[in-house]
Structure 1
């Protein structure tokens, strides 16, 4: 029986949030889906999901539709539905403390004030799962963090954002293929 990974990209549903910095997870999931030829999405467990096969590994791609702050509920429901343990969960999310255009991968850790991660920690009662962190950098000047993460990147920031999402997708394939150590060596 093939291994199954749940790959959850975090974001907010709705056109008004599409392609904002906070939706880095959704955008990265869409890139993975495009590369793997996914054409069919369905709603289950409070998320948009699609199934794909990458090499000999089954992937469940998920975009929780409950808004960022309550992402943990759909993630837990899907883990239960597909029998996925936390060590086969990969969460893709935006990260303020990483430079725009860059990606960092880790296993475990805190939520650093990220409400989507906080929700997943709370629902799973563990912090031990893979994270693909899409760097968006800090807001300029005194701009409010919420306004910044919910805004569309412009000009060179848009290029950095798209590069980071693309690298994030590559990091997911690497985690599945090579595991954490090699992926961190290549991406961190």
Structure 2
């Protein structure tokens, strides 16, 4: 079993913001799997599906970004899923818009949602699919940038990124993280 969680902030106020790319990707993945991510439990909206023979729990934590680890830990404990079977999809300001970067472990890299997950799981050994949202302008506050929406001209690039992130998650489950890294980390 796998947990695939997209990070974001709840409420309509944050829909379609840079920080909510994880929610967008999980919605696309749910569509591909014929799943519904509507059941409220573990401080998240959850749904179940199958990728090949593997059962997957799809999740959109409702704890707000900086407390995502509370929800992820509750799910991991309830379903008895080890960190190496957890895949987190989140935004990354260090990558160009739409670019993906897949890793099986590593630091939070300044991302408060990942930092909280690391703290709650007690390890950095979980997979993450980072979705590029572009570098923030120097004169702009980081919070304002990640809580802002994409300009219209970037929407197509981001729609493709959500598709790619969903496909990357599927590949990670079916073929392994290394195959997904080899394919998606090189894709521009």
Whether the TM-score (by the shorter chain) exceeds 0.5 is: yes
Q: Distance in 2 between matches of 1:126 and 1:50?
A: 25
Which residue does the alignment assign to 1:35? Answer: 32
Which residue does the alignment assign to 2:59? Answer: 62
Which residue does the alignment assign to 2:164? Answer: 167
Residue 176 of structure 1: which of 161, 173, 182 is its match? 173
Q: Distance in 1 between matches of 2:165 and 2:75?
A: 21
User: Pairwise mapping of residues 47-86 of structure 1 onto structure 2 (< 5 A)?
Assistant: 47-86=44-83
- How far 1:81 sits from its partner (Å)? 0.7
Q: Under a length normalisation based on structure 2, what TM-score does the superposition of the two structures give?
A: 0.95
Divergent runs of 4+, >3 A:
none
Aligned residues: 185
Which residue does the alignment assign to 2:153? Answer: 156
| Alpha-carbon displacement from aligned partner over 1:138-159 (angstroms, at most 9, x marks no partner) | 1234111111111110122222
- How far 1:39 sits from its partner (Å)? 3.3
The answer on 1:125 being equivalent to 2:122 is yes
Residue 112 of structure 1: which of 109, 112, 115 is its match? 109
- RMSD of equivalent CA atoms: 1.0
Q: Distance in 1 between matches of 2:130 and 2:11?
A: 22
Aligned residues of 2:95 and 2:134 also touching (Cα < 8 A): yes
Task: Give unpaired runs (5+ residues) of structure 2.
Answer: none
Q: Distance in 2 between matches of 1:178 and 1:79?
A: 22
Q: Under a length normalisation based on structure 1, what TM-score does the superposition of the two structures give?
A: 0.95
The answer on 1:24 being equivalent to 2:21 is yes
SS at match of 2:84: helix
- How far 1:60 sits from its partner (Å)? 0.1
